Structure formats: structure tokens, C-alpha cells
Amino acid sequence: MNIVVCIKQVPDTNEVRLDPKTNTLIREGVPSIINPDDLAGLEVALRLKDEDPDNRKVIVLSMGPPQAEVALREALAMGADEAILLSDRAFGGADTWATSCTITAAIKNIDYDLIIAGRQAIDGDTAQVGPQIAKHLDIPQISYAEDVALNGNVITVKRQFEDRYHILDADLPILITTLAEAAETRFMTIRGIYDAYKKDITVWGLEDVKDNLDMDNIGLKGSPTKVRRSFPKAGKGEGTLLKDVTADEAAEAILAKLKEKYFI
């Protein structure tokens, strides 16, 4: 069984810079991390592999610039078996649609049974790429996964849903998107890091996936999303700290502030 995990290397959100001309993130020289929801998805995949290591393989796939290889090495050091980097200047500036089309083209080159993606990336917060990949592949999807179990070719997912949970069973192949709360990720081991840098990372460019790709749906030019303006998240102002107050006094203070701001 092949478990494909889609991960994204994202900029540290405390260091975000934006290109005023293209409204895209400037990634050069910015510290990067693996997206938290994707890390949880990787851990879910590794735990499923641990249950049956002889018959389950974890393949990590990332689309990004060459420096995304660092994120893939980290995934290998945690226990992934193979890593694929989807990288080409033609893919640059892609929105969620163009990204999902390109990743789907790569996945079609892989023999997969289960695809795991993080719910959303912290640099975009759209939660669209995973479901779009499932749509392109014409396979079922379960989003907001908090707990996952495999029994043969049937997957059981505990799905977070507003004020309750859904427990869903589905046949493979399927795509699921995981929450960061789905699993506490393991640490890399010294041995794992050593082995990770001995392994080759497969790099696919446009020529490697173009047979599965509509050339009108790649990169910035193939992105239907038009960003009118982008700006970093504004910092929050200093709040008011009340000390040594009773619960009733605290409630009265909150109500008074809400009335002052005309919320009530």
C-alpha cells in the first residue's frame, strides 16, 4: 500500500513579505517550516506504516522551489520512504487551482492507495488544494480528519464538524485532509537524519508531468484567482488585563467593554 503525503514548505508567518507587483509571497531569504497541518498528516501516515511496515510505504510530495528539498529531507528523517519534489519555474506563482492541477499531474505518475494532505497552509489558509486534488482524481475525500484508522482497504476517519464529530468509513483509494490536532509529530532521530541525506530526492519538472497536465492551468498565468491587494496581518493591540477580580466582576467588565464598542 502506498500512502502519498502532500507537504508544503511555508514561510515563518512572523517573517512574511509580499511582492507589491505580483501580490505573491517573497520566499527568498525567509525562514521556512513544514506546514503544521501537513506535519500532522505525515505523522498519521507514519503511524499507519508502523502498524504494517512490510506492506505500507510513505511517499512525500512537495511542490515548490529547490529549497523545499530541506522539508522533504526532514520528512525522510522522520521515517518517510521516498520523497518527490515538484519544481519548475513554470509552476511559480500558482494559485490553489493551478497548484492542485500540477500536484494532481504528479500524483498520476504514482501508484497510490491513500493520499493525505493538511487541511490548509498557514501562508494561504484557503483549505482548497486537498479537495481540489480529490476532484481532479475523481476519488472520494474526507476533510478535517482528527483520527484515522485502516482496516484492510477500509479507512475510518473521525472528522471534526463544528459542534460534533462524524465517524466515517470509506473504501480506498481516497484523499483525506488532516488537522494539526490529528497527531503529535515525532522527532527526527540522529540515525534518521543521517539516512535522509543518503537518500536521493526525485525531482520532477514540467517535462515529467506535462502528459497529465493542461498547460493552461499552470503557474501564475494559469491561475484564475486575481489578487487585488495583499498585506501582512496587522498586529493586535495591547489588551486590558484585569487582576484579582471575581467572576461576576469579570463578566460585568466584559459586558461594559462590549457596550462601549457597540457590539451589544
Dump strand ranges (E) for the chain.
Answer: 2-6, 9-11, 32-34, 57-63, 82-86, 114-118, 141-151, 154-161, 164-171, 174-178, 202-204
Q: So what's the pLDDT on residue 8?
A: 94
Mean of pLDDT over the chain: 90
Q: Average pLDDT for consecutive 10-residue bins of the chain (264 residues)?
A: 95 67 66 90 97 97 94 96 96 93 97 95 85 97 95 95 92 96 89 93 97 94 82 72 90 91 86
- Each residue's pLDDT tens digit, 101-148: 999 999 999 999 999 999 988 877 788 999 999 999 999 999 999 999
Q: Cα–Cα distances in Å, from 122 out to 27, 192, 222, 230, 238?
A: 14, 27, 23, 15, 24
Q: What is the model's pLDDT at position 27?
A: 62
The predicted structure's pLDDT at residue 145: 95
H-type alpha helices, 93-158: 96-107, 129-137
Given this model, what pLDDT does residue 14 score? 60
**Rounded CA gap, 9 and 205, in Å?**
17
Its pTM stands at 0.81
The three cell numbers locating residue 153: 482497504
